[in-house]
Amino acid sequence: MDDLQQFIALIPKTEIHLHIEMCVSSASYNALMDKYGIPHDEKTNALTDFSKIVSLQSMIESFFFVQSFFREPEDFLLVVQDVIAYAKRNNIYYIEAFASPSMILNRGVISYDEMFDVLIGGFRDAKKSTGIDVRLIVDVSRTFGPQNAMKNLELTLAFLERTKTDGILGIGLGGQEIDHPCADYEAVFSVAREAGLHVVAHAGEEVGPQSVWEAIDILKAERIGHGISSIQDPKLIERLKKDQTPLEVCPTSNIITKTYVSDLADHPVRALFDSGLNVTVNTDDPILFSIELNKEYENMTTKLGFTREELLVLVKNNLMATFLPKREKDKNWKRVQEVIGTSASRASRK
C-alpha cells in the first residue's frame, strides 16, 4: 500500500449511495445458484459477468437477474453479510443504502415484510457485533411506473407502523431515468414527505439538467443521486450551490454506464466541486462495478487531482449529508479528525 492508499484506508468513512443487491459477492451468488439448482450456463454466465456491463440498461438487466436468485427470506442474510464485509474492507462505519423490493415482490415469492424483516434484523445484529450501522432507503423504483412506486411506499409505511424500526430512513427513486421523469412521481413523494420520510432521487445520471430540476422542485428531493448532467446548466449549478443540495456522485459508475463521460479524468465531479457544490463520493454498485470506496477516493487524487485536504472535504460532505442527527454527525467528524490528526503527528515524528 502506498502512502495515499494508507491515508485513505485510515479515514473512517460513510457512504450514502449504495445498492445493497449490488454488493453481493460472487461466492454468495454461487451459493444461491447451487441452493436452487440454477445452471451455470451461457445465459447466467453472460448476466453475472459484470465486466460486460456497458450501459445503465445492461446494468439493470444484470441487477434484475441476480435478484431472481433470492427465493427465501433468509437468502437476504447473504446480502447483509456482504455489505458488512464491504464496509469493513473500506473502513466505513455508517451506510445509507438502497434496497429495491419491486422485482422481488413482482415475482411473488417473498413478501415485503419478509424481505425487510430479515434485512433490518440482519443489519441490527451486524451493528451489535461490528459497530457498522447500515440504514435503508427503499427504492420505490421508476422502472415499473408510479402505481408500483406508490404500492412500495404504502408497504413501507405499513412496515414502519408495525415495526417502529429506525432502520428505514425514507424512499428513493432509482431505475431507468430515460422515459421515466421524476415529475411522474410527484404524488408518491408528496405522501412520503407528509409521512415524515426522507426523500432522495436519482437524477441527471442519464438525462439532462431538466431531470435534476424536477427532482428538486417537484419531488423536493433532499439529495440527488449522481446529478452529473447539472454541469450543463449554469442556472442549476447556481441553485444547487445556493441550497447546498448534496450530490451523491459515483464516478466509476458513470464511466461504466458511459452516458456523459467515459474517462475518469474527464469526470465533471472536479468541476462540480470547484463550483462550490456539495459533492459526495460513493460507489453505487461496488461488486457489479468492481470498485471499492477506498479506490474511488484514490482515483479522485490520481485521476482528478484532489488534494488530501480536498479528500477530507469530500469525507466530511458525505457525513454531513447523511440523515444522522446533527449531534451524531459532529461526534463522528470529531473522531475522524482525531484519527487523521494522530496519523499526521505519527508521520511527522518519523
State the catalytic residues. Answer: 205
Nearer to Zn ion, 206 or 284 (CB): 284
**Rounded CA separation 99/168 (Å):** 10
Nearer to Zn ion, 202 or 336 (CB): 202
What does DSSP assign to residue 50? G
Nearest to 314 by CA among 297, 298, 331, 291: 297
The phi, psi pair for 61, rounded to 5°, reads -60, -45
Shortest distance in whole angstroms from residue 329 CB to Zn ion: 23
- Its sign, for the CA torsion 338, 344, 345, 350, is positive
Stretch 279-298: interaction string toward Zn ion, x if CB under 5 A: -----x--------------
Among the residue ranges 81-89, 176-184, 265-273, 278-286, the one whose residues contact Zn ion (CB under 5 A): 278-286
Q: Following DSSP, what letter does each residue of 180-218 receive, concatenated?
A: --GGGGHHHHHHHHHTT-EEEEEESSSS-HHHHHHHHHT
Shortest distance in whole angstroms from residue 304 CB to Zn ion: 20
**Rounded CA separation 73/35 (Å):** 14
Nearer to Zn ion, 8 or 20 (CB): 20
Shortest distance in whole angstroms from residue 1 CB to Zn ion: 29
**Rounded CA separation 275/279 (Å):** 10
Outline where the chain has alpha helix (H).
3-10, 26-35, 42-48, 56-67, 76-89, 102-107, 112-130, 145-163, 186-194, 209-217, 234-243, 251-257, 269-274, 286-289, 293-302, 308-320, 326-349
Shortest distance in whole angstroms from residue 79 CB to Zn ion: 16
Shortest distance in whole angstroms from residue 203 CB to Zn ion: 11
Give the chain's end-to-end CA distance (angstroms, integer): 18
**Cβ–Cβ contacts within 10 Å for residue 243, how many?**
11
Nearer to Zn ion, 21 or 284 (CB): 284
C-alpha cell at 179: 422515459
**Rounded CA separation 109/89 (Å):** 33
Nearer to Zn ion, 82 or 284 (CB): 284
Q: What is the identity of the amino acid at 175?
A: G
Shortest distance in whole angstroms from residue 22 CB to Zn ion: 8
Nearer to Zn ion, 284 or 296 (CB): 284
Is 15 a residue that touches Zn ion (CB under 5 A)?
A: no
Q: How many residues bind to Zn ion according to rule CB under 5 A?
A: 1
| Contacts to Zn ion by CB under 5 A | 284
